[in-house]
């Protein structure tokens, strides 16, 4: 068993009750030897307990010891630090508040999942954890409040105060710090959300490194500095003073001076500075990210209108919680450290503001959408507005389904686009210029006019004695290219349609292009790539047949006569 040092005033000491003789005493009808009790330094106190500084026992029925051994131990004794009393108003009220805090914890976790989800890529200026901190602190507040509230049951039931009162008060102070941090993160993130909406249409509207950004960088550090000052003034200390309420004299000498000491007063002052930082952060966000008003009256009215309703509620509530912490550092009567304090004040003023702040935040969380989704909605609205200004009408949702654009994968869509522009020419092939295309189309029209067909055979076997087609300038229209003979049926169909259209709807530009082609070809086409043998056969009047050889010999090219260049088309 751990050693406990019970602190009692000398005025709490009582003499052992008289017994049969000078060495006999009676507790609850049981006789004990006073010599053995004095040998082991047992002292009888006014609260009907027997203690020697390390162990404490109850002496009233039905918890009195049954036997005292010579080694100073008792048989069938009950410790002073047991839950033997019934639950009173503090315990019942604590259980009721704990139910509401438990429900708030469950709802907060669901809101953390809702508002913490990402639907847009992460941005360097707006980290996802920034929007989640207010819900993290809300979970922290709920957890601390539950521990503090459930231990109120043992505060009522313990005969002498010990660990329960220490745990309850310790976690209550942590709950106060978490509540203020929750309020700060709600206000800070609201300003960050305003900035995100402000810069989303134009990311360069705010300069980096200006006074605004410097203030937004240092404000969180300033706030948490004072919050941690409150933590270091309150938490790292001996908390046994809270349990020194075992008698009126002990309470007056140990508990009250410690509970109303300078450290608790200074800690409350640190929270006041942190609260003023929250107000300044709210004013800063409204100044830079809300429309400005001119005039003192209009500016004050605009400031009130710009503050969200939840901040109008939670900022005064957080101030009320700070006021209670400062108040109990001066007045012991209503202090939460007092185990038999005023229950209505302790819970209404000590736990009420935190509970209301939590449920205000929960209401806001369910009423507001996820910020990424809201940003996407705003972008769609801006896009629709720009489309209306430009006169662009967006197709309805059923348009893609009617056209069949919703079918197939991205690869299929790319393949369809390639087929539309034609995929016959490979990479590295020379692109056909406009002059060549028009000359080829004119040749196809000439073949269609002469033979009624655009086949290649009609061009090769046309009767040379027939009257050639003569343009307005008297030049003969010579076909400069062959019609399309590829395997792409779609392109073949397009060429036929184009040829028919040119016949039905002739134009002067086509005639000019044909004249230009005839002028380029008036001195004759380029000689065919005949070999020496083929040239001799052609001169003899024999039909020329193209021969293909795999030989790499250059003898013929050296022995044959040099080619006579007649125009640039021969090269």
Q: Specify the DSSP class assigned to residue 470.
A: B
Q: Mean pLDDT over residues 307-330, rounded?
A: 95
Instruction: Name which CATH class applies to 89-368.
Output: mainly alpha
Lowest-pLDDT range of 163-167, 171-175, 516-520, 535-539: 535-539
Q: Which helix (H) or strand (E) holds 31?
A: strand 30-33
What are 90's two structure tokens? 């503090």
Nearest-angstrom CA–CA distance, 181 and 137: 7
Backbone angles phi, psi at 68, to 5 degrees: -115, 120
| Length of the chain, in residues | 571
Q: Among 201, 181, 398, 193, which Cα is nearest to 308's?
A: 193
Lowest-pLDDT range of 43-47, 106-110, 362-366: 43-47
| pLDDT for the residue 39 | 87
Nearest-angstrom CA–CA distance, 258 and 269: 17
Q: Is the peptide bond before 62 cis (omega within 30 degrees of 0)?
A: yes
Q: Strands 67-68 and 74-75: what pairing? A: antiparallel
The SS3 call for residue 366 is helix
Lowest-pLDDT range of 48-52, 155-159, 372-376: 48-52
More confident residue, 169 or 509: 169
- Dihedral of CA atoms 209, 213, 214, 219 in degrees, nearest 10, equals -160
| pLDDT for the residue 521 | 67
More confident residue, 89 or 402: 89
What are 43's two structure tokens? 């002292």
Q: Among 72, 52, 49, 37, which Cα is nearest to 5's?
A: 52
Q: How confident is the model at residue 538 (pLDDT cuts 50, 70, 90)?
A: low
| pLDDT for the residue 542 | 52
Q: How confident is the model at residue 557 (pLDDT cuts 50, 70, 90)?
A: very low
Name the most confidently modeled range: 301-315, 438-452, 499-513, 521-535. Answer: 301-315
Beta-bridge partners for 496: none
Q: Among 282, 174, 265, 263, which Cα is nearest to 223's?
A: 282
Lowest-pLDDT range of 126-135, 345-354, 518-527: 518-527
Q: How confident is the model at residue 352 (pLDDT cuts 50, 70, 90)?
A: very high
Mean of per-residue pLDDT scores for the chain: 81
Lowest-pLDDT range of 75-84, 160-169, 174-183: 75-84
The SS3 call for residue 130 is helix
In this model, does residue 176 exceed pLDDT 60? yes
Neighbours of 10 (CB within 10 A): 6
What are 148's two structure tokens? 């503090």
- DSSP H helical ranges for 351-451: 352-367, 371-390, 398-403, 410-421, 434-451
- Domain-wise residue ranges, the chain: 10-75, 89-368, 381-418, 434-520
Q: How confident is the model at residue 471 (pLDDT cuts 50, 70, 90)?
A: very low
What percent of the chain lies above the pLDDT cut of 90? Answer: 41
Q: How confident is the model at residue 315 (pLDDT cuts 50, 70, 90)?
A: very high
| pLDDT for the residue 470 | 45
Q: How confident is the model at residue 115 (pLDDT cuts 50, 70, 90)?
A: very high
Counting other chains too, the contacts that 253-258 makes at CB distance below 8 Å and 24 or more residues apart are 253/9, 254/7, 255/337, 255/338, 256/332
Q: How confident is the model at residue 450 (pLDDT cuts 50, 70, 90)?
A: low
Beta-bridge partners for 476: 470
| pLDDT for the residue 102 | 97
Radius of gyration of the chain (CA): 49
| pLDDT for the residue 506 | 65
């Amino acid at each position: 068993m751990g050693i406990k040092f019970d602190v009692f005033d000398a005025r709490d000491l009582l003499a052992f009750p008289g017994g049969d003789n000078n060495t006999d005493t009676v507790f609850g009808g049981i006789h004990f030897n006073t010599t053995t009790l004095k040998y082991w330094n047992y002292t009888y106190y006014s609260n009907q307990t027997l203690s020697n500084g390390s162990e404490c026992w109850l002496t009233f029925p039905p918890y009195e010891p049954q036997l005292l051994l010579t080694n100073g131990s008792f048989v069938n004794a009950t410790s002073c630090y047991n839950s033997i009393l019934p639950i009173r108003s503090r315990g019942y009220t604590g259980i009721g508040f704990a139910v509401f805090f438990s429900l708030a914890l469950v709802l907060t976790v669901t809101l953390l999942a809702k508002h913490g989800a990402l639907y847009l890529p992460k941005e360097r200026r707006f980290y996802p954890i920034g929007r989640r901190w207010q819900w993290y602190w809300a979970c922290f507040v709920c957890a601390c409040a539950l521990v503090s509230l459930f231990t109120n049951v043992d505060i009522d039931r313990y005969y002498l105060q010990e660990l329960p009162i220490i745990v309850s008060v310790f976690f209550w102070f942590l709950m106060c710090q978490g509540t203020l941090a929750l309020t700060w993160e709600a206000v800070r993130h609201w300003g960050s959300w305003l900035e995100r909406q402000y810069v989303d249409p134009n990311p360069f509207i705010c300069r980096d490194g200006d006074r605004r950004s410097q203030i937004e960088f240092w404000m969180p550090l300033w706030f948490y500095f004072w919050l941690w000052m409150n933590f270091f003034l309150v938490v790292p200390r001996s908390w046994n003073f809270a349990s020194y309420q075992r008698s009126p004299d002990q309470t007056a000498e140990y508990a009250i001076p410690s509970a109303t000491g300078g450290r608790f007063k200074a800690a409350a002052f640190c929270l006041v500075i942190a609260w003023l930082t929250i107000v300044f952060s709210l004013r800063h966000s409204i100044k830079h990210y809300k429309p400005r008003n001119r005039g003192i009256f209009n500016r004050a009215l605009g400031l009130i209108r710009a503050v969200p309703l939840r901040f109008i509620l939670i900022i005064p509530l957080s101030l009320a919680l700070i006021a209670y912490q400062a108040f109990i550092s001066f007045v012991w009567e209503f202090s939460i450290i007092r185990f038999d304090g005023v229950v209505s004040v302790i819970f209404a003023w000590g736990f009420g503001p935190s509970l209301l702040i939590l449920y205000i935040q929960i209401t806001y969380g369910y009423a507001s959408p996820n910020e990424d989704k809201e940003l996407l909605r705003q972008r769609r609205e801006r896009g629709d507005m720009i489309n209306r200004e430009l006169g662009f009408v967006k197709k309805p949702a059923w348009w893609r389904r009617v056209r069949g654009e919703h079918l197939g994968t991205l690869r299929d869509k790319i393949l369809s686009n390639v087929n539309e522009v034609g995929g016959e020419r490979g990479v590295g092939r020379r692109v056909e210029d406009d002059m060549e295309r028009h000359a080829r189309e004119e040749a196809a029209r000439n073949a269609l006019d002469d033979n009624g067909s655009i086949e290649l055979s009609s061009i090769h076997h046309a009767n040379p004695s027939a009257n050639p087609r003569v343009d307005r300038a008297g030049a003969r229209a010579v076909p400069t290219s062959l019609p399309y003979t590829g395997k792409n049926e779609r392109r073949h169909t397009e060429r036929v349609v184009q040829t028919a259209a040119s016949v039905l709807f002739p134009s002067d530009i086509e005639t000019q292009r044909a004249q230009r082609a005839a002028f380029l070809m008036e001195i004759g086409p380029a000689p065919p790539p005949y070999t020496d043998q083929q040239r001799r056969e052609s001169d003899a009047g024999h039909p020329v047949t193209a021969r293909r050889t795999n030989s790499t010999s250059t003898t013929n090219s050296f022995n044959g006569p040099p080619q006579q260049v007649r125009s640039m088309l021969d090269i």
